[in-house]
Chain A
Amino acid sequence: MASMPIAVDRAEKFEKVVSILDRFSRRPSGLIPILQAIQHEYQYLPEEVLTYVATSLDVPPARVYGVATFYAHFALEPKGKHVIRICDGTACHVKQSLPVLHALREKLGTTEKSQTTADMLFTIETVACLGACGLAPVVVIDEQVYGQITPERAVALVDEIKATEAGLATASATEQPSAEVVNE
């Protein structure tokens, strides 16, 4: 009987995953689209979700984990609120994409190994090619493409986002005390 609440809890927790699994009729062949849909929902693939998917599809967790780690698009760790993708395809590379990458990493203090900032605001990634070679070098920030970018402009864009975020933070900070006042 004790297992009942846990089962209910799990079902609630994985409600979204369940609906995704149902959408793909729980076929193991649909593993990649399933993981894509889950990542779309959660922004990354939490480990417990991977095991849950494995059990539901009746395949070993190793297989799910194997697929999730094989493809570059799947992230096993949460990403920052703003994802900055620097294209390092051939065209962007010969047009000096690396200085842009280095400038952004220096600005945000990330490295190749730890790509996300401690405040979970930014993630810096490199991608092989975005197919916008005519605009090289290219940076994509939250799906918005910026072409012919320079290190200075890239840093300025980050500053803009930071300013907006700081504005949001102060706005919510001023809201909170007022809420407390109401509580009192």
Chain B
Amino acid sequence: MNNMEALTSTPANGHGISTLAQVRRVIICAGTGCMANGAMKVFEQFKSEIASAGLRVILELRAEATSDEIRLSKSGCQGFCQMGPLVSVVPDGILYTKVRKEDVAEIVQQTLAGGHVVERLLYKDPATRKSCQGIEDNPFYARQSRFVLHECGFLDPEDIREFMLHGGYQAARKAFVEMAPEEICKTILDSGLRGRGGGGFPTGRKWEAARIQNSAKKYVICNGDEGDPGAFMNRSVMEGNPHSVIEGLMIAARAIGANETLVYVRAEYPLAVERMRGAVAAAEREGILGKNVFGTGLSMKCEVMEGAGAFVCGEETAMIASIEGQRGMPRPKPPFPAQSGLWGKPTIINNVETLAHVCRILNEGPEVFKQIGTKESPGTKTFALTGHVSNTGLVEVPFGTTLREIVYNIGGGVTDDAGKIWKTGFKAVQIGGPSGGCLTEEHLDLPLAYESLRAVGAMVGSGGLVAMNQGTCMVSIARFFMEFTQRESCGKCVLCREGTRQLLALLDDVIEGRADQNTLDLLDKLGRAVQIGSLCGLGKTAPNPVLSTMRYFRKEYEEHVFEKRCRTGRCKALLSPEINQVKCKGCGLCIKACPTGAITGEKKQPHHINPELCIKCGACATACKIHAVEGI
């Protein structure tokens, strides 16, 4: 309920806050996930049901709100996408999950009019089978430390006044009116804030490097080109709290002496583009962006640019090339962008999540920020927890949190393919996407931070955390990432361009049963060569998934290579389906199911599979009622 307190304690600005605090509010999550599950239909239904129940509904934050009115609003992504659409009722503190259009009438009657909880729409903890009324008793939320994400599920992203009522743009005002640029840089440096985009470079140092440049023109770019397949925390912040990004950009610009900023958003995120553009327009209307920022006479511009679909553009120099209208290819550093970046001017590029932390550091001071997290990696980090876990979604935790806490306590444990809890099913977690590595059972108690992860051959990266169960083939996973980086390699460095292609071919050899000892040696040698011989982060980290899986799942590689066997049955070419001659009753079901006519046999006699004709589709195994088809 921190926000409600904030609402009443924030300076009034003549918005009639005290009455607003008593207004009951229904918040419908309007993030990409919930929208896909029909959140807008739920929203419309609420509008009409509340009106027909004789309650007064208001859609906008208004000064003259009275306590018998209900405020209906949308919020950004609340992170619990799998259970969407999410509907919260405040100040009652109720969180309804998987709400359908048909459930709305009941919520209006029971909760809004009657003050009762609709039990069946509450989230049930799969481990304890207990219903959780709100976010306080929901293990998915209760065990997180949501700072960056907290506002995302509460504020109406399309309402700048709401953001301002919650203390928004106060940090920017402070930066412009009360602080000198070097003071801002020092505060950020003292806080120990490190880039959340992957590298973990100290943000304050980056800013200071740009600040000391003697140039009339400087730029700040917000990197919202979240290309890591499996991470979506930046999308969530841009959709849910776009003003926090603009505020962070303004502070960064003030710190280095820039008056032009740009948000580079990935084109796959249409809603984020729309919300960011809307937020910039609103900030211009309110006079926060424009010619005379906070009466200082300084000007500030913010532009939103949509990417065009290239993973490599997440790299700083490639992004600059893309903004300049070129092919997004990286160039050697130095000179660093802080010295010579966009149009040859000093430029800093910060990740969305990094910028979202900046306002808090300025408001609360670097000491408060440092209290959370580890000494080397202070603060919180948002991870996108996906894959084979019970609760998938965005998880913001302090650095130093263990994998066990995230996977088992917040994530609710590992699941099988059908989504049922699988107690002994944990196999690995892939962290940091295509540049990262695998963490195994032995790393479950490793505190997650920049250094600790690097030491075990992985990296924080953008924070994608994909949990994988025992049914996942690690060679196939390595191949999946290699295929991705190979496709996304810009082609500038020979070792990255050709090396990733060869690595992919070698992995195909392993998966399709053509590999020998030489293949394994080559994978290792070539992987290390690509790391050394590439210019940018993409190439330098591209072999990580292969090297890391070879390090921790050597046995599985060896089974593929020497025994021509995949223990999970995922590698089709290594399968050799056979009919168990003792079990088979000769019913003929498999003969009917086989699309290539590979199965023969007399009635009531054991059948046979002709390996020449078999395409290993598994239709026979599915058809057989007594599980007599083995090896597939």
Contacts and interface: CB of A to CB of B under 8 A. Distances in A.
A145 B40 CA distance: 13
Nearest to B476: A93
B595 to A, nearest CB: 11
B386 A136 contact: yes
Contacts of B387: 90-91, 94-95
A90 B235 CA distance: 16
A82 to B, nearest CB: 17
A129 B480 CA distance: 13
Contact of B230 (A72, A73, A90, A145): A90
Contact of B327 (A70, A91, A131): A70
Nearest to B79: A134
A33 interface: yes
B324 A129 contact: no
B267 A73 contact: yes
Contact of B229 (A72, A73, A89): A89
Residue of A28, A70, A73 ringed by the most chain B CB atoms within 10 A: A70
A65 to B, nearest CB: 10
Given A33-B305, A136-B386, A145-B36, A91 B392 contact: yes
Contacts of A32: 305, 308, 322, 325
A45 B392 CA distance: 38
Contact of B311 (A28, A91, A96, A128): A128
Residue of A71, A127, A133, A134 ringed by the most chain B CB atoms within 10 A: A134
Contact of A73 (B305, B309, B468): B309
Contacts of A144: 36
B33 A129 contact: no
Contacts of B497: none
B392 A132 contact: no
Interface string A85-100: 0001111011110000
A147 B190 CA distance: 43
A3 interface: no
B310 A132 contact: no
A143 B32 CA distance: 11
Contact of A71 (B33, B35, B268, B309): B309
B46 interface: no
Nearest to A73: B309
Contacts of B309: 71-74
Interface string B259-298: 0000000011110000000000000000000000000000
Interface string B453-497: 000000000001010100010000100110010001010000000
Interface string A51-94: 00000000000000011001111100000000000001111011
A94 B468 contact: yes
Interface in B417-472: 417, 430, 433, 464, 466, 468, 472
A91 B468 CA distance: 10
B466 A94 contact: yes
Residue of A70, A128, A133, A138 ringed by the most chain B CB atoms within 10 A: A133
A91 B394 CA distance: 13
Interface string B322-345: 111111100000000000000000
B227 interface: yes
B81 interface: yes
Given A33-B306, A90-B230, A136-B386, A131 B468 contact: no
Given A33-B306, A91-B392, A147 B326 contact: no
A36 B33 CA distance: 25
Contact of A133 (B37, B80, B232): B232
B158 interface: no
A44 interface: no
B315 interface: no
Contacts of B82: 134-135
B231 interface: yes
A183 interface: no
Given A71-B310, A135-B37, A147-B37, A93 B480 contact: yes
A90 B322 contact: no
A20 interface: no
Contact of A90 (B311, B325, B464): B464
A131 B235 contact: yes
A104 interface: no
B464 A127 contact: no
Interface residues of B, number: 54
B36 A135 contact: yes
A13 to B, nearest CB: 24
Given A32-B308, A94-B466, A128-B311, A136 B33 contact: no
B463 to A, nearest CB: 12
Contact of B430 (A90, A130, A145): A90
A111 B480 CA distance: 19
B479 to A, nearest CB: 10
B257 interface: no
Contacts of A93: 229, 480
Interface in B196-248: 226-232, 235
A123 to B, nearest CB: 15
A22 to B, nearest CB: 17
A94 B392 contact: no
B327 to A, nearest CB: 4
Nearest to A90: B230
A95 B466 CA distance: 11
A50 to B, nearest CB: 14
A30 interface: yes
B81 A133 contact: yes
B393 interface: yes
Nearest to B235: A131
Contact of A134 (B84, B322, B326): B84
Contact of B328 (A71, A91, A96, A128): A71
A67 B308 CA distance: 10
A25 interface: no
A161 B450 CA distance: 48
Nearest to B467: A94
Given A29-B325, A70-B327, A90-B430, A132 B32 contact: yes
Nearest to A85: B268
A133 B227 CA distance: 13
A28 B229 contact: no
Nearest to A91: B386
A31 interface: yes
A61 to B, nearest CB: 14
A146 interface: yes
Interface of A: 28-33, 35-36, 66-67, 70-74, 88-91, 93-96, 127-136, 138, 143-147
30 contacts: A29-B323, A29-B324, A32-B322, A36-B267, A67-B325, A70-B327, A73-B307, A73-B309, A90-B230, A90-B386, A90-B480, A91-B229, A94-B388, A95-B417, A127-B268, A128-B227, A129-B227, A129-B228, A129-B229, A129-B230, A131-B226, A131-B232, A131-B268, A131-B269, A134-B82, A134-B84, A134-B392, A134-B393, A135-B33, A135-B81
Given A66-B327, A135-B84, 7 more contacts: A32-B305, A71-B308, A73-B267, A90-B433, A128-B268, A135-B82, A146-B36
- The 5 lowest CB-CB distance pairs between A and B, nearest first, are A134-B81, A89-B229, A90-B230, A145-B36, A72-B309
